[in-house]
Structure 1
Amino acid sequence: MYETAARAEEILSLNIEDLDLEFRRARVTSKGGAIEYVHWATATARLLPRLLPRLLASRTAGPVFLADRRAPTSGPRAPAAADICPATGRGRLSYPRAEYLLKTASTKLDPHGDGWTLHQLRHSALQHLAQAGRTAPKLQAKSRHQHLSSLGRYVRLGEETSARITAEHDPAARRRKR
């Protein structure tokens, strides 16, 4: 999720047939309903082959991320047929459950001891890309935000960035770039 800077719902909605491992991307349905692609980097590309053989050995279709147990087949809590793995009968991993798992796994790593949320992964990815000097249009392309104004809430670079930009574009600066 972090490397794609995608919305958690988009990643949790992925099916095995949406993955394009060769080109390090996955087909997602965006917030507005458009079909778009999210891309991941080398670390994920190296990790997926270790995780997916077991997954692909038993399944060729259905949700990538599954719940721990089988989905109910009837009643008010029964998921849609598309959200059930045809091979295992397990349901698609829900947002609340995925968030709980991430918070539990990251509690010891979080300086505040609260654990991280799924949305913080997207927020962090965009903030780190901005700190690395990516322009707003590039961040918009990566995050697939419709408007630059909605992207602004994710990217708060602070005084350090302002000072660095000012120094880099100071025509009277005495130092030369090496």
Structure 2
Amino acid sequence: MTTEPARVRSLRPGIGLAAAIDAYLHTVTSSNTRRGYRAALDALVAEFGPDTDVALLDPDRVDVWFRDRWGAVSAPTFNARLAALRSACRYWREQTWLVGDPLTRIRPRTIPADRSRAMTRAEVTALLDGNADLRERVLWHMLYETAARAEELLELDVADLDTANRCARVRRKGGTVDVVAWQTGTARLLPRMLAGRRTGPVFLTDRRAKPHVAVADIDPDTGRARLSYRRAAELFDDHTTALAGGPYTLHQLRHSRLTHAAEDGTSTPMLMTLSGHTSVRSLAKYARPSKDALLNWQAATDPAARRRR
């Protein structure tokens, strides 16, 4: 007597790839981000078929397909496509449509260090004026306006804020307590995000904290936990993938603010206070004028142009 091998039953019905992609893209609020992500997701459908159950995506086959499809592109494009697929897979796992990680064999490519890492003013404006969720808009405005490190701002508690004077106490790298100050962009958005909260972390997750989270990292009113750097970086990467020149990193907002301040003629002591650096050498790599500033300076100081005027 022969018996058939046991079959593992899914806890819920499977979902086809096309339907799963549509469901995921409906959660992406930014039209630019949706457009960028669709390039990767449509290619996935073209390869595996619209009715393929997402739970059956095989890591070996996905790895071969991805490298054949984008193996020859630049590192930023390779990473952008990978980021789009990873974001979708995270969502599918949250819906329990997917258990494993079909992208487990693919790693982002290393992007060589770039001396022009600062975002242009136009790129910063496009980012900050975009349609991201309120929490992200507050964090990104504050990162740019204060030139603080992301870790420093994510560790803020509501009690650290002085909203009347647009500043807050932070703990700098090395443990030094310092003050950071922001401008109108943050001042307009921050009260809306806090919604009257007077305790707990400033930046919170969307869900209630898990049992192992420290009490100091939980908002006592909502039960939500402090937003982690890893999650904040993922959201920023996801949002900026489709932007011109993207994706960007959270650190680039700090870098850009210091670069733009240096271009505006800000004194070295003020730049050091803004950045929290204690040595000019550490500041130098951030206060380097951008390529656009160099081109504008060359045009403004061109003797021939002066004679024409």
- With the shorter chain as reference, the TM-score category is 0.7 to 0.9
Q: Give, as a single letter, the amino acid of the residue that structure 1 aligns with 2:169.
A: R
Q: Which of residues 41, 45, 49 is equivalent to 2:187?
A: 45
Instruction: Report whether the alignment pairs 1:157 with 2:289.
Output: yes
Q: How far apart are the structure 1 equivalents of 2:290 and 2:201?
A: 40
Equivalent residues of 1:140, 1:151 under 8 A apart: yes
Cα displacement (A) at 1:32? 2.0
Q: Which of residues 141, 145, 158 is equivalent to 1:16?
A: 158
Q: How far apart are the structure 1 equivalents of 2:246 and 2:185?
A: 26
Cα displacement (A) at 1:108? 2.6
Normalized against structure 1, the TM-score is what? 0.79
Instruction: Report whether the alignment pairs 1:87 with 2:225.
Output: no
Q: Secondary structure at the match of 2:233?
A: helix
Bigger drift between 142-151 and 27-36 goes to: 27-36
Q: How far apart are the structure 1 equivalents of 2:193 and 2:221?
A: 17
Q: How far apart are the structure 1 equivalents of 2:296 and 2:193?
A: 43
Structure 2 residue runs without a partner (length 5+): 1-142
Q: Secondary structure at the match of 2:146?
A: coil
Q: Which of residues 192, 204, 209 is equivalent to 1:66?
A: 204
Q: Which of residues 148, 152, 155 is equivalent to 2:280?
A: 148
Q: How far apart are the structure 2 equivalents of 1:94 and 1:69?
A: 12
> Percent identity of the aligned residues?
52
Q: Secondary structure at the match of 2:180?
A: strand
Hey, what does 2:99 align to over in structure 1? none
Bigger drift between 99-108 and 116-125 goes to: 99-108
Higher-Rg structure is 2
Bigger drift between 139-148 and 41-50 goes to: 41-50
Q: How far apart are the structure 1 equivalents of 2:155 and 2:218?
A: 11
In the alignment of these two chains, the number of paired residues is: 158
Equivalent residues of 1:16, 1:63 under 8 A apart: yes
Cα displacement (A) at 1:69? 1.6
- Measured against aligned partners, the alpha-carbon deviations of 1:115-159 in whole angstroms (never above 9, x if no partner) come to x21111100110111111112221111111011101111122268
Instruction: Report whether the alignment pairs 1:118 with 2:214.
Output: no
Kindly indicate which of the two structures has a greater share of residues assigned to strand: 1
Structure 1 residue runs without a partner (length 5+): 169-174
Normalized against structure 2, the TM-score is what? 0.47
Q: How far apart are the structure 2 equivalents of 1:143 and 1:8?
A: 12
Q: How far apart are the structure 2 equivalents of 1:12 and 1:163?
A: 36
Hey, what does 1:100 align to over in structure 2? 234
Kindly indicate which of the two structures has a greater share of residues assigned to helix: 2
Q: How far apart are the structure 1 equivalents of 2:272 and 2:172?
A: 14
Q: How far apart are the structure 1 equivalents of 2:296 and 2:210?
A: 57
Cα displacement (A) at 1:31? 1.2
Equivalent residues of 2:259, 2:290 under 8 A apart: no
Equivalent residues of 2:260, 2:289 under 8 A apart: no
Cα displacement (A) at 1:79? 2.5
Equivalent residues of 1:131, 1:161 under 8 A apart: no
Equivalent residues of 2:146, 2:182 under 8 A apart: yes
Equivalent residues of 1:15, 1:62 under 8 A apart: yes
Q: Once superposed, what is the RMSD of the aligned Cα atoms?
A: 2.3
Cα displacement (A) at 1:51? 2.8
